Amino acid sequence: MGALKPDLIDEVMGALKEMNIEVPTDIQCIGVPAVMERKSVVLGSHTGSGKTLAYLLPIVQKMREDEASLGKITKPRRPRTIALCPTRELSEQVYRVPKSVSHHARFRSILVSGGSRIRPHEDSLNNAIDMVVGTPGSFLQHVEEGNIVYGDIAYLVLDEADTMFDRGFGPDIRKFLAPLKQRALKTNDQGFQTVLVTATMTTAVQKLVDEEFQGIEHLRTSALHKKIANARHDFVKLSGSEDKLEALLQVLEPSCAVDHYLSENQVSTVNYHGEVPAEQRVDNLKKFKDEEGDCPTLVCTDLAARGLDLDVDHIDYLHRTGRTARMGAKGKVTSLISRKDQMLAARIDEAMRNNESLEALTNDNVRRDANPNHSR
C-alpha cells in the first residue's frame, strides 16, 4: 500500500492484498498516520474516496497493540470499537469492510441496526466481541437492555458526522457520549479516541463538532467540496415553459432513471426515500446494484446522499456528484437548470473549471456577490 506499508502489520496488509488495494487514496495517506498516532480527528473527503479503510486499518492495528502492551482481551458485551452511522443501509455498507479485513486481522465485529430483531443481536453480543457497527438508536437500545457495556470502549467512529449533528441525531449522540466523558473525567484521561467521517462539513456543524469534541483535529483532502476529476458535468438550461420531467427523459437513455413519470414512459425504476420501509429500501438497492437485473435507475432523495456505496454512471443532481466517478471510475452529472438557478449554475460551472471549492455556493450567496446591495 505504497508509503503506508511500513506502518501496517502483516495481518492488515494481507487483508488489503486480498481486496486488491495497492495504492492508498489521498484521505488514507493523511488519515491512517493520524489515527495511528491516536489523534482524535475529523476526516473530510468526497464520497467514494476510501474513508472507511482510512480509519479502520489503524484502529485494527491499535487494538492489536493494546492487546500486546496493555493486556486487553476480547470479552462478551464489551466492544473496544464502536462505529455509528445515521442509517441502517450505511451501517450495513460500513460493516462489510471490517468483515473483509477481519478474515486476516483476527478480530470480531457485529452489526446492530434499525429494522432488525433484538434477540439475534443479543446472542451475538454474548460472545467475545471487538467492534460494533450500527445506528445510534439500536446501540442505545442494546445498552439499555444490558447487552452492551461501555467499560472497554477505546475507539469511537461517527460516520457521516455532519448528518449526525445536523439532522436530529444530536440527542442520541450526546446520550451515547455521556458515559464515555464521565469515565474520562474520573480517570483524568481522554479515555477514548474519536474519528469523525464526513463528505461535507458546514460551518455550523463544524462549530458543533468543535464544541462537543474539544481539541479535535480537522483533516481534509484538497478535493473536498470540489468537482470530482473523473466526472463530466453538463448543465441543461430550461426555458420557462419546459418541464423538468420532460427534459429528464431527454437526458436519460432508455436504460436509466423519476419514478411514476418515468415508469409511465417505460423507464424501469426503484425508489429510495424516507417513505419506503427500511427493508424495502435494502431490497431496492440490491435490485439497483444487480448488473443483470432490469432496474438500472434509482429515484431517490437526499437519503441516498449519505455515504452509500453506489457505482453510478449518470446522476441528475448537482450536489450529489460523489455518487458517480467513485474511486477513479468515470461518471457523468447532469443538472437541469430552471431560470431561477441559472446564475448559481453559471457560478458553479466557473468554480469547477477553475478547480475552486463549491462549499459556499448557494443562490443567496451568488446573488449577494452579484449585487452587494441585495438583501434577503
Taking only the tens place, the pLDDT of each residue in 225-258 is 455 555 666 666 776 555 666 666 655 543 354 5
Ramachandran class of 329: left when φ > 0, alpha when ψ lies in -120 to 50, beta otherwise: beta
Which three three-digit cell numbers place residue 258? 423519476
- 280 lies in the same domain as 313: yes
Total domain count for the chain?
2
The reported pLDDT for the residue numbered 253 is 45
pTM over 0.75? The answer is no
347 C-beta neighbours (distance < 10 Å), count:
20
CB distance 71 to 78 below 8 Å: no
Q: Which helix (H) or strand (E) holds 162?
A: helix 161-166
- 180 lies in the same domain as 319: no
Q: Which residues of the chain have pLDDT under 50?
A: 1, 5-6, 225, 253-255, 257, 314-327, 374-376
- 190 lies in the same domain as 73: yes
The reported pLDDT for the residue numbered 285 is 77
The reported pLDDT for the residue numbered 56 is 95
Residue 362 lies in a domain: no
- Expressed as residue numbers, the domain containing 43 is 2-220
Alpha carbon separation from 310 to 76, 316, 363 (Å, rounded)? 34, 14, 28
- 184 lies in the same domain as 245: no
Partners of residue 242 on adjacent β-strands? none
- 239 lies in the same domain as 137: no
- 171 lies in the same domain as 202: yes
Residue type, 150: Y
Ramachandran class of 118: left when φ > 0, alpha when ψ lies in -120 to 50, beta otherwise: alpha
The reported pLDDT for the residue numbered 8 is 80
- 193 lies in the same domain as 292: no
The reported pLDDT for the residue numbered 363 is 54
Residue 355 lies in a domain: no
Residue 322 lies in a domain: yes
- 141 lies in the same domain as 178: yes
DSSP 128: E
- 271 lies in the same domain as 171: no
- 323 lies in the same domain as 208: no
The reported pLDDT for the residue numbered 319 is 40
Whole-number Å distance between alpha carbons of 153 and 143: 13
CATH of the domain at 314: 3.40.50.300
- 116 lies in the same domain as 261: no
- 258 lies in the same domain as 322: yes
